[in-house]
Each structure stands twice: as C-alpha cells, then as structure tokens.
Amino acid sequence: MALIEWKDEFKLGIAEVDHEHEEMIELINTAHAQMQSNASAEAVSDFLGEIYAKISAHFALEEKMMRDSGYDEFAQHKEEHEQLLDEIRDLMDAYEDGELLDNEALAMKLHAWFTRHFRTRDARLHQKLG
C-alpha cells in the first residue's frame, strides 16, 4: 500500500502543478517502499536528495505563480515551503552523518505535511487562482 494515495481533492486545476504534485507523491511512496525493504543507505540517501530537488523545483514554480498573481498569502505559503525544505535537509544531513532514521516517523511526517498542505495552503491557492 502506498504511503500517500493521490486524491482528486489534491488537484489545483493547474495541469503543470497537479502533475508535479502527483510526481512528488509517487517519489515519496517509492522512497518509503525502499526504506521499508531495507534498501542500502546509498539508495535511501539518493532518494532523499531526489525528493529534495523535486520539491524545491516544485515550490519555485508555485512561488512564481503566486508572485505573478499578487497572491495575498504568498509570505505564509512560502514560509511553509521553506520549513519543509529545512526539515528535509536536516534529515538528509543526519542520514549522511550516519544517524539512523526512523523510517516510519519520517514517512508519517511527510504524509502529514503533504496532505495538510494540499488541503489548506494549496486548496486556498487554487481558489484564488482558479
């Protein structure tokens, strides 16, 4: 079973953004599956790096759309993006330093963050841009 199931309620109605959301969820699900199957430390580290890169690029796209449209909650939305990126970077650093990650705790954290963010910040963004 996937960690995060894609739901239509996550859609913003912007094809490029929706596609990236689906890709991120798929990547997170793949990383979670690898962690549960005791993948090598190198594979997990590579996936964390890929997740970070994809999420960073996606956030840049969303933030450009918000700036271009004069979105009224840009600062708060961007701050949430930065907090998640900081948390992922901290996890990557800890993992690279040889600290063991609690795979289930990491998975639950990503699941909670993305589903909450999609339902709140991104849903509001869709209403304003839609």
* Neighbour tally for 4: CB within 10 Å: 19
In the predicted model, what is the mean pLDDT of residues 25-50? 79
**Quick check: 69 and 14 in contact, CB under 8 A?**
no
Q: Go through the domains of the chain in sequence order and give each one's CATH number.
A: 14-129 (1.20.120.50)
Q: At residue 67, does pLDDT exceed 90?
A: yes
Strand extents, DSSP E, 2-127: none
DSSP code per residue over 74-104: HHHHHHHHHHHHHHHHHHHHHHHTTPPP-HH
Highest mean pLDDT among 67-76, 96-105, 113-122: 67-76
At 100 the pLDDT is 64
Tell me how far apart the alpha carbons of residues 4 and 10 are, in angstroms, rounded to a whole number.
11
The per-residue pLDDT of the chain, averaged, comes to 83
Query: Which pLDDT score, from 0 to 100, does residue 107 have?
Result: 72
